[in-house]
């Protein structure tokens, strides 16, 4: 890289390329398109009409019917896909609802496929929405038993693939989960179903609104025994290396805003398809400030999503996917 020094002024004036929109666009380094945005959605068994989620204004728990409408809209907007989370009617210690052929996610996948056949349908593979104790795996005593959980996760992934999921995304942070899913999918005839691994998923305060939305808060303790310590970066690279070795097609960093350094490091180190998840608390935080008129919401959203792209993310999971895609369309027409 040629160093820029002040000695080059007045020959060098960086403002030259900033003076008009057309010039600014010409040298824009990061792009944001609808195809890179994935909308996480909640769908609840037995719901007649959508239910608002107080800590996530504008986000609802869908009925199967309203989810189908949302899917059609996502497809029309050219979104990268939906990431489906299910809320079952009944929970138990093993999370048996999670891999039922007629489970809520399995029904949702079929409904989305009918309503939006070309939209990518992704599913979250975890137990926390299905267990009565709210942990991401099956328990032995008061801790989550890793290897027993792997069998459950693998069965869930296969049932999602069977329902028609285009991609499965294990988020339980169990050791060996990607390998377990890959083996089970291959054995069941789904060698072509990709895995997006929540590779570096941190134990974060920013998941709380999600846990309200998904009714998945742990009944005791917390998730620090399986999710990562926010202080660690080297460990995120180890997690990612293992997931890639185990067969991850896409690796994910989560949350987004406080972990963009992790996104950058993962992308630079592995050059692998990299996703980032702007989580519920990040959404809630922005919504709260916007509701008070303290930030300009569309601009703030665009800035944050662009920062994620700049950090190296190829794919962004965001509750703002629809509104961001809509404003990208208008700004393209109106030429910022």
Interface residue list for ligand PBG (CB under 6 A): 124, 126, 128, 136, 171, 207, 210-211, 223, 279-280
Which residue lies nearer to ligand PBG by CB, 115 or 320? 320
Report the residue number, 62 or 115, with the smaller CB distance to ligand PBG: 62
Contact 196, 248 (CB under 8 A): yes
Answer whether 105's CB lies under 8 Å from 66's CB: no
Rounded Cα–Cα distance for residues 135 and 157 (Å): 18
Q: Which is nearer to ligand PBG, 207 or 259 (CB)?
A: 207
Q: Of the candidates 258, 143, 272, which has an alpha carbon nearest to the alpha carbon of residue 196?
A: 272
Least Cβ distance, residue 282 to ligand PBG (angstroms) = 8
Shortest Cβ 28–ligand PBG spacing (Å): 29
Taking the complex as a whole, the smallest distance from the CB of residue 161 to ligand PBG amounts, in Å, to 18
Q: Spot the catalytic one: 44, 254, 267, 287.
A: 254
Query: Token digits for 74?
Result: 């996502």
End-to-end CA distance of the chain: 31
Closer residue to ligand PBG (CB): 72 or 215: 215
Residues 6+ apart with CB under 8 A from 49: 63, 66
Report the residue number, 190 or 207, with the smaller CB distance to ligand PBG.
Answer: 207
Closest chain position to ligand PBG (CB): 210
**From the CB of 22, what's the least distance to ligand PBG, in Å?**
37
In the block, tokens 């068994």 appear at 45
Active-site position among 44, 201, 267, 287: 201
SS3 for 279?
Answer: coil
Query: In the numeric block, which tokens belong to residue 289?
Result: 């400030």
Smallest distance from ligand PBG to CB 283, Å: 7
Type and span of the H or E element at 196: strand 196-201
CA gap 65, 60 in Å, rounded: 13
Q: Note if 11 is an active site residue.
A: no
Angle at 131 between CA 38 and CA 49, to 5 degrees: 55
Nearer to ligand PBG, 126 or 311 (CB): 126
φ/ψ region of 80 (left if φ > 0, alpha if ψ in -120 to 50, else beta) reads: alpha
- Helix (H, G, I), strand (E, B), or coil: what is residue 42? strand
Q: Least separation, in Å, of the C-beta of 130 and ligand PBG?
A: 10
Active site residue 91: no
Q: How far is the CB of 225 from ligand PBG (least distance, A)?
A: 12
Helices (H), 122-258: 146-163, 177-187, 208-214, 234-246
CA distance 145 to 153: 12
Joined tokens for residue 219: 């009944």
Nearer to ligand PBG, 80 or 115 (CB): 80
Using the Cα atoms of residue 175, residue 250, residue 190 and residue 39 in order, give the sign of their dihedral: positive
Positions marked catalytic = 201, 254
């Amino acid at each position: 890289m040629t160093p820029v020094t002040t000695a080059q002024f007045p020959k060098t004036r960086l403002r030259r390329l900033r003076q008009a929109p057309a010039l600014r666009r010409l040298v824009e380094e990061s792009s944001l398109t609808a195809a890179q945005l994935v909308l996480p959605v909640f769908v609840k068994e037995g719901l007649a009409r959508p239910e608002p989620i107080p800590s996530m204004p504008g986000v609802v728990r869908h009925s199967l019917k309203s989810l189908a409408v949302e899917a059609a809209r996502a497809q029309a907007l050219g979104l990268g896909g939906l990431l489906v989370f299910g809320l079952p009617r009944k929970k138990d210690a093993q999370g048996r609802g999670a891999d039922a052929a007629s489970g809520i996610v399995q029904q949702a996948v079929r409904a989305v496929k009918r309503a939006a056949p070309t939209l990518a349908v992704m599913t979250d593979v975890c137990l926390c929405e299905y267990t009565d104790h709210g942990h991401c795996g099956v328990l032995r005593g008061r801790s989550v038993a890793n290897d027993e959980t792997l069998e459950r996760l693998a069965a869930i992934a296969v049932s999602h693939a069977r329902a028609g999921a285009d991609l499965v995304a294990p988020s339980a942070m169990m050791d060996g989960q990607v390998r377990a899913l890959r083996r089970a999918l291959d054995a069941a005839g789904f060698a072509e179903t990709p895995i997006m691994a929540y590779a570096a998923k941190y134990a974060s305060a920013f998941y709380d609104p999600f846990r309200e939305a998904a009714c998945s808060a742990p009944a005791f303790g917390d998730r620090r025994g399986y999710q990562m310590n926010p202080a660690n970066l080297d460990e995120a690279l180890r997690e990612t290396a293992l997931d890639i070795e185990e067969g991850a097609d896409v690796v994910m960093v989560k949350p987004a805003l406080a972990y963009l350094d992790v996104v950058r490091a993962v992308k630079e180190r592995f050059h692998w398809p990299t996703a980032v998840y702007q989580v519920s608390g990040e959404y809630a935080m922005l919504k709260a400030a916007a509701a008070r008129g303290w930030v300009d919401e569309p601009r703030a959203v665009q800035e944050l999503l662009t920062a994620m792209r700049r950090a190296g993310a190829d794919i962004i999971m965001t509750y703002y996917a629809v509104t961001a895609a809509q404003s990208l369309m208008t700004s393209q027409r109106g030429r910022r």
